[in-house]
Structure 1
Amino acid sequence: MVEFKEFLIDKGLLATLMERYGIDQKDKEIYKFFYELIKKLSNYKTEQFRNNTKKESDFFDLDIVASVYEENIPHYIRKRTGEFYTPKSVVNYILNGVGYTTRDNIITRKIIDLSCGSGSFLIKAVKILYEKLCNQIKVKEVSKIPSEQVMNIIKTIKNNISGIDINPIACVLCQINLYFTLFELFKILSKDIKNYSTIMFNIFNKDAIHIEFDSKFDYVVGNPPYLFIRAIPLDMRKEIEKLILETNKGQYDLYQIFIEIGLKLLREGGLLGFVVPDSILALTNRKLLRKFIFNSTEIKELCHLGPVFRDPKVSNLILILQKELNLRKRLNNTISIKKSLNNSSQISYIKQEVIKKHDYKFVINLNQRDIEILNYLNSNFPKLSDLMNDTRFSISLKRGVEIGKDGYVIYCETCQIYQPLPKKKLFCKTCGSPLNEKFIDKIILESIPEGLEEEFQHFLYSINRYSAKYFKNIRLGMEGINYKGEDTFKKRIVIRQLSQENLICASYNENAWTSQSIYNLEIIKTPVLEFNHYYLLGLLNSHLLSYYFLKSFGSYKIFFPRILIEKLKNLPIKVPQSLVEKELSKEIQEKVLKILQIIQKNSLEAKKLANQIEIIVQKLYKIPENDFQYIIKSTTG
């Protein structure tokens, strides 16, 4: 198709494009880049316009333009601006998700991509709109379309489809893409209209954060740039933080600015479809963005993809939002949650109001059944924190010695105290003075040095469920180290921060000290004798409480969330009240004591006893059998 090269180069259209976007035509390297690309395109045929336009397979796959761009624009430049180009499957899914299809009424509706690159989304949108317009005029072959209708088609596409990109080279490529896609139409006009002046499409070489339009859009789609605040150039950050926005505060990412701007460009009821990092789902730094989305839109769909780009290695999410100011509609909205582009069996649904109840986390790990079980547990049982605040009880929950498990400390000559060894630079956390590495010491040891026996105590180094796994020794009396006091380490339940096999990991110990990575839970006073350490240990190690923890504090990751004190305080704890419940409590105590005695020697018998405890916990919490089996499956995979 040599004539495409003539159309762009010989007739001066490429030169006009370069001038429009401020690219020096004398730059031989860039001109050659465009020239070689156009030559490559000219070798392809555009049979999609000579055949039935309804067949997607008839269309030329324009991913070649994006790949040429990635091959020729250095990686560090694209990474610096957060530019990475979008797989065709994701483009198709998003356009379908926002309702930009030939089945929808799109002829008078406007769509924009705020970071269009070489045009992945726009080219697909053009094909869809072109097909819709051809269906309207009932034409199957391009060559039979009258030139007047051709002009109307091109004018409609120009008016309704827009793109923005900060990179002028990307803008030229996008225009080339559009010309190539519609080249058969331009050939008709060039043939029928003398001195036809080729139009340019609405591709703007601007920074999207400063864009303004007189009218609103019906659709905003795209793959916005991913740049965490540290990677955003300082001058750009200053510009962003001057804007009157809600999400440009704190530790933001550039993509969240694009989401807010995109929503502001939408008319009421308009739809936004973006592919973004899945960190949006639960990351603390993205709470401001999630809250803005919750308060501005109906969240129509969250589709968790995992990594879809060759570079960078980011796990991704497709976000479909509909602008909606009505609070009742937003709260009653049902969100579709998908784990795949293609597998319809992996769809679940939650009400949008659930997000607010979970501190604005996008809880895609929950389905309606999970929500009902969590609501039941939250409504019918006190939290551990409630018991800690109840004057009838006295319950202590503390971290161990404020030191890492490796036991390294360093002495500050200025303060004349010890402190845990800093992970990075050697500066005193108290006075800021530089620390001398010759004063590094270690206070957690395998064996006690001769003559220092009185300075050391037994130290619980690691635990498993129902088992104190490994012991060392800790040196006391190092001034500056927060030891917490020996009362913390008397008879109590010990809980580690990391789970074991997707379950809370707790055991019992009477006298060994621990590091800060192991929590110490002590029942000091209780009005119910059956509510004691062994009973509570059985509850903590149950699948039910692990399920509650996972569903309440997990997010989209497969991994069990880190167990933190504030989260432990939220666990629903059953205090036995009736005679029947107290008898069940005694059964748990007996089995827990037996497990603690035999687990090192007979793990199979200990496992049987633990399974029996699960059944008793089910009875105490009155969990229906089908829900109980669901809970077990959820925590065992």
Structure 2
Amino acid sequence: MTQQHDLLRWYEANLPPHERKMRGHFSTPPRLVEQILDACGYTPDRDLSQIRVLDPACGSGNFLTGATQRLLTWGQHNNLSATRQARNLERNLWGFDPDPIACTLAELQMRTAFTERYPKSKALQRLHIHQADGLAFRWENHANVDLFLANPPYLAAKNNDLSGYRTTHQRGQLDSYLLFLSLGLQIVRPHGWIGLVLPDPVLARANAMRERQRLLEETTIHHIWHLADVFAAYVGAVVIVAQKTPPHQQHHIFWERARWSERQTIQAEVAKNMPAMVSRTVSQHLLRNQPGTELRYLLSTIEGTLLERLHRQYCSHISGKLVYLGECVFIRRGEELGKDSSFLRTQPPESTEQTWYPLLRGGIDIRPYGIPVAKYWIERQHIIKPLERYLTPKLLLVKSAGQLKATLDLQGYVVLQTLYVLHLNQSNLNQQQTEKHKFSLEDELYFLLALLNSRLLQEYIYVLYTAYKWVQPQIEQHVLAQLPIPIHAPTIEKRQIIQRARQMMQACSPSTAVVELDVQRYELYEEQERAISSLYEGALQERPGMHGAYPDIDEGVSLYG
């Protein structure tokens, strides 16, 4: 198959990056194909003669070629003639793709696999590789697929016109891969199998909720593999292997989280009889009970912890000593400009009649507890949002990050939209406090700063939200607004947390010696962690729970009342 492989590699290598992205063309690595076929039970030790396989977005045919090899191996083990083998291929393996070159390569791969085993046979006639859009076919009377395999194109409705599909739904952003997932659930017969390679936003993004719900209710999911670096794309990959049968109440899903290259190394070591990784599982029933049926596989790692109890109270919607962060602060974004905007300057002109303001960018200029220092400036006329929003004391939190990174700005910096700006909702705080135990505005900011930079809330965000997107994870505004906050903290403990937060700001000052900084910061941080954990424990023990369901929020809208 050397010549055929060379042609395939040439096609893949010479497809321009913009064309690849526009068409969502990223071929499934052959080794991953083999692993998915194994997980779906499509192996040569079984009778494969009656198993109908469909890839509705077959591309250059890696899934179908893997299935071809296995179907031929089964036939040889059972002494089938070349004619019988050809009939099985023609009857059982089906592929669709709108790209004529991809279809040609898919058929070439399958024919080559056949002729290598039967070089003199002319029995193989017409393979079912069709140049067509697999989503546009009328599948209503074809719910008889035994094995549905697909690595569908990753196309979003915001960049592509998907309105022509009859299954288009009106909720959030529509992504083409959701249509393929829905198709698999529609046409796979009872007890048939689904093996999908999808972009990892499917794990938790709100627009995939309905498909996740159907998947969790209608199928028994056997595997979830969350992989990075499988494709040269700005997205992680999720492999979902499921059988079309309702799950048992106690069913557990095997899950893995790894980089593709590391996973291959581990499996190679296992093949050499070296110690294998401990298998990790998560209850499918637990996933079904998530508020948006998110596939939060990491929930299995926090059983019995304070983190699990916080999440359980979040799901229960019972009033108590914990409130949402959005009830304490207004959450807004900064200026809707990119870091490369022509409006930004590294320094203001020496002589100008215009007023210039120092400006902070996202994760570039912000680190936990670090006193921010601006390296850019912006002219007053280019500041669109109310200036007083920036000039008053505020918390700043990085939006595009896998964990919480917050600092306090008392100097009045303007910020870009890659940062969230948090201002205290003073009317709400005044209601929560008594005259005897009031704290200053600055103290309240330091208290929230300590919570946002705590290991507890960082893990809370990671386990529940940001871990499910390998590439460019983001903390959504509604997620930030729903962080649990112990608003009725005991006065003494709260004052101590505030004092340590102030000390942490000093410890993270650039003027502090490195050794001193490391020692002081470590000791303060660990002491702070113990105090914050104790605070949450107390809030849960006194009366576990939180306020009711939280509304969606828009930029600049009050999150209280």
TM-score for both structures, normalised by structure 2 = 0.70
Counterpart secondary structure, 1:163: strand
The aligned runs of 1:590-609 (5 Å cut-off) are 590-595=499-504, 600=509, 602=512, 603-604=517-518, 605-609=520-524
Q: Give the drift of 1:216.
A: 0.5
Residues 429-459 of structure 1: per-residue CA shift (max 9 Å, x gap): xxxxxxxx9xx999x9899999x9xx99999
Aligned equivalents of 1:313, 1:499: Cα separation in 2: 14
Structure 1 gaps of 5+ residues are: 1-40, 45-60, 138-144, 191-196, 405-419, 426-436, 624-637
> What is the aligned partner in structure 2 of residue 53 from structure 1?
none
Which structure ranks higher in relative contact order (CA pairs < 8 Å, sequence separation ≥ 6)? 2
Structure 2 match to 1:320: 241
Distance 2:95 2:329 in 1: 56
Letter in 2 for 1:482: P
Tell me the equivalent position of 2:395: 494
* Pair 1:520 & 2:423 matched: yes
Structure 2 CA distance for aligned equivalents of residues 611 and 153 of structure 1? 67
Structure 2 distance, partners of 1:564, 1:176, is 46
Match of 1:334 among 238, 242, 253: 253
User: Alpha carbons of 1:582 and 1:304: their partners in 2 closer, same or farther (altered >3 Å)?
Assistant: same
State yes or no: 1:616 paired with 2:531. Answer: yes
Per the alignment, residue 464 of structure 2 pairs with 552
Question: What percentage of aligned pairs have identical amino acids?
Answer: 22
- Change in 2 beyond 3 A, CA 1:507/1:263: same
The change in CA–CA distance for 1:358 and 1:348 in structure 2 (over 3 A counts) is farther
Partner amino acid, structure 2, of 1:161:
L
Equivalent in 226, 229, 240 of residue 157 of structure 2? 229
For 2:524, what is the secondary structure of its paired residue?
A: helix
Which residue in the other structure is 1:270 paired with?
Answer: 192
The structure with the larger Rg is 1
Rate the CA distance shift 1:154–1:424 in 2: closer, same or farther, 3 A.
same
- SS of the aligned residue for 1:336 comes to strand
1:469 is paired with a residue of what secondary structure?
Answer: coil
1:369 to 302, 307, 319: 302
What is the alpha-carbon distance in structure 2 between the residues aligned to residue 592 and residue 247 of structure 1?
Answer: 47
- SS of 1:345's partner is coil
* Residues 317 and 558 (structure 1), Cα distance of their counterparts in 2 relative to 1, 3 Å cut: closer
2:290 is aligned to 357
Deviation of residue 219 (structure 1)? 0.3
Q: How does 1:458-497 map to 2 (within 5 A)?
A: 465-466=368-369, 468-470=371-373, 482-483=386-387, 489=392, 494-497=395-398
Distance in 1 of aligned mates of 2:379 and 2:529: 40
- Which of 463, 483, 497 is equivalent to 1:588? 497
Match of 1:177 in 2: 109
Q: Which amino acid aligns with 1:529?
A: H
Correspondences of 1:360-509 after superposition (within 5 Å): 360-369=293-302, 373-379=306-312, 396-399=328-331, 404=335, 465-466=368-369, 468-470=371-373, 482-483=386-387, 489=392, 494-497=395-398, 502-507=403-408, 509=410
Tell me whether 1:529 sits opposite 2:455 in the alignment: no
**C-alpha distance after superposition, 1:131-162 (max 9, x if no partner):** 2233334xxxxxxx7xxx44333323332222
Residues paired across the two proteins, number: 498
Q: How far did 1:267 drift?
A: 0.4
1:210 counterpart residue number: 136
C-alpha change, 1:206 and 1:497, in structure 2 (3 Å) is closer
2:164 to 227, 239, 260: 239
> 1: CA distance between counterparts of 2:384 and 2:313?
44
Q: 1:498, CA displacement in angstroms?
A: 5.0
Q: Which moved more, 1:595-604 or 1:162-171?
A: 595-604
- Distance verdict in 2 for CA 1:247–1:273, change over 3 Å: farther
Using structure 1 for the length normalisation, give the TM-score: 0.62
1:564-579 equivalences under 5 Å are: 566-574=478-486
Structure 2 residue runs without a partner (length 5+): 267-275, 539-561
Shift of residue 320 of structure 1? 1.8
Residues 389 and 500 of structure 1, relative CA distance in 2, 3 Å threshold:
closer
In 2, Cα distance between the equivalents of 1:75 and 1:445?
Answer: 38
Question: How far has the Cα of 1:271 moved from its partner?
Answer: 1.2
What SS does the corresponding residue of 1:362 show, helix, strand or coil? coil
2:32 maps to which of 74, 90, 101: 90
1:483-516 per-residue CA deviation (whole Å, 9 max, x = no partner) reads: 5689x936xx63433599954424485x857658
Distance in 2 of aligned mates of 1:184 and 1:597: 71
- Alpha carbons 2:235, 2:471 under 8 Å: kept: no
Give a deviation string over 1:401-449, Cα, whole Å, max 9, x none. x863xxxxxxxxxxxxxxx889999xxxxxxxxxxx9xx999x989999
Question: Using a 3 Å threshold, how does the CA distance of structure 1 residues 278 and 619 change in structure 2: closer, same or farther?
Answer: closer
- Aligned residue for 1:275, secondary structure, equals strand
* SS in structure 1 of the partner of residue 147 of structure 2: strand
**Aligned partner letter, 2:386:** N
Please report how far the alpha carbon of residue 372 of structure 1 lies from its aligned counterpart in structure 2 after TM superposition.
5.1
State the 1:584 CA deviation. 4.0
C-alpha deviations, 1:591-634, integer Å up to 9, x for none?
Answer: 345545676465453543232222222333449xxxxxxxxxxx
Letter in 2 for 1:616: A
| Change over 3 Å in CA distance of 1:460–1:363 after alignment to 2 | same
Which amino acid letter does the alignment assign opposite residue 524 of structure 2? L
Distance across 1 between alignment mates of 2:14 and 2:471: 39
Contact 1:383 1:570 in 2 (8 A): no
Partner secondary structure for residue 164 of structure 2: helix
Change (3 A) 1:399 1:622: closer
Change (3 A) 1:398 1:172: closer
Amino acid paired to 2:125 = I
What is the deviation of 1:100? 0.6
Provide the C-alpha distance between the structure 2 equivalents of 1:173 and 1:537, rounded to a whole number of angstroms.
57
Distance 2:248 2:507 in 1: 57
Which of 117, 135, 148 is matched with 1:220 structurally?
A: 148
Residue 66 of structure 2 aligns with which residue?
A: 124
Residues 385 and 570 in structure 1, CA contact (< 8 A), matched pair in contact too: no
Change (3 A) 1:183 1:558: closer
How far apart, CA to CA, are the structure 1 residues paired with 2:228 and 2:21?
A: 19
| 1:223-263 deviation line (CA, Å, top 9, x unaligned) | 3233333554x5xx4532xx2x2658653333332222233
* Correspondent of 1:165 among 81, 97, 101: 97
- 1:10-89 matches, within 5 Å, as 63-67=5-9, 69-70=11-12, 81-89=23-31
Q: Contact 1:301–1:336 at 8 Å: present in 2 too?
A: yes
Q: Give the drift of 1:89.
A: 0.9
Report SS of the residue matched to 2:463. Answer: helix
- Cα distance in structure 2, aligned partners of 1:609 and 1:177: 62
Secondary structure of 2:277's counterpart equals helix
The separation in 2 between residues aligned to 1:154 and 1:609, in whole angstroms, is 72
Relative to structure 1, the CA distance from residue 256 to residue 331 in structure 2 (aligned partners, 3 Å threshold; closer, same or farther) is farther
Q: What corresponds to 1:23 in structure 2? A: none
Q: Which residue of 1 aligns with 2:75?
A: 133
- The aligned residue for residue 201 of structure 1 is 127
Pairwise CA RMSD: 5.0
Name the CA shift for 1:251/1:530 in 2 (closer, same or farther; >3 Å): closer
Query: Any idea what SS the aligned residue of 1:116 has?
Result: coil
CA distance in 2, matches of 1:62, 1:335: 36
Shift of 1:303: 1.7
Q: 3-state SS of the aligned residue for 2:63?
A: helix
Residue 135 of structure 2 aligns to a residue whose secondary structure is helix
CA contact (8 A) 2:371 2:505 kept: no
